[in-house]
Amino acid sequence: MTDTPQPTEFEFELPRGFMDTNGTLHRKGTMRLATAHDEIEPLVDLRVRKNPAYLGVLVLASVITRLGTITDVTAETIEGLYATDLAYLQVFYERVNASDGLPKLCYSCGAALGQDEPRDRLGES
């Protein structure tokens, strides 16, 4: 029996969307699985040292591979999100990267399966 490779990138759609400087609304995007480096590297960033909640901004900027037509998602992009969209992405990140039996996602469509306990938002304790 061979194991089926699991996807490493997941599609999402923001509740409100990100408006760029040209007035284009970006709602659909993709997020890849996080690596240990994605979560460790931002810990030395001065913005995180001043405000630990900023860790979530930097991690999301590193794992979101596309937001609409934007392929270079930066911390500034994440800072420009509506609070609703930031909260959505934090929960989505936790679900995609959960390995402890918490929320499961359908590998074909990314939909949440079952009623699992919510996790803390990224960057919060």
How far, in whole angstroms, is CA 4 from its chain's centroid?
Answer: 24
HSE, CB side, 13 Å, CA atoms: give it for residue 26. 19
pLDDT in tens, 72-103: 999 999 999 999 999 999 999 999 998 655 45
Is residue 108 in some structural domain? yes
Is residue 107 in some structural domain? yes
Q: Which two tokens stand for residue 106?
A: 């359908």
Backbone angles phi and psi of 81, in degrees to 5: -75, 150
| H-run or E-run covering 11 | strand 9-19
pLDDT in tens, 23-82: 999 999 999 999 999 999 999 999 999 999 999 999 999 999 999 999 999 999 999 999
User: Containing domain of residue 42, as a range?
Assistant: 9-17+26-113
Is residue 38 in some structural domain? yes
pLDDT in tens, 5-27: 778 899 999 999 999 999 999 99
Is residue 120 in some structural domain? no
**Whole-number pLDDT of residue 86:** 97
**Whole-number pLDDT of residue 104:** 61
Query: Residues 70, 71, 77, CA angle at the centre, nearest 5°?
Result: 55
Is residue 4 in some structural domain? no
- Taking CA atoms, 77 is separated from 21, 84, 85, in Å, by 11, 15, 12
Is residue 51 in some structural domain? yes
Q: How many CB atoms lie within 10 A of CB 119?
A: 17
Is residue 93 in some structural domain? yes
What total of structural domains would you count in the chain?
1
Is residue 125 in some structural domain? no
Higher pLDDT, 82 or 2: 82
- Taking CA atoms, 19 is separated from 39, 52, 75, 77, in Å, by 27, 26, 15, 10
38, 63 contact by CB (below 8 A): yes
12, 92 contact by CB (below 8 A): yes
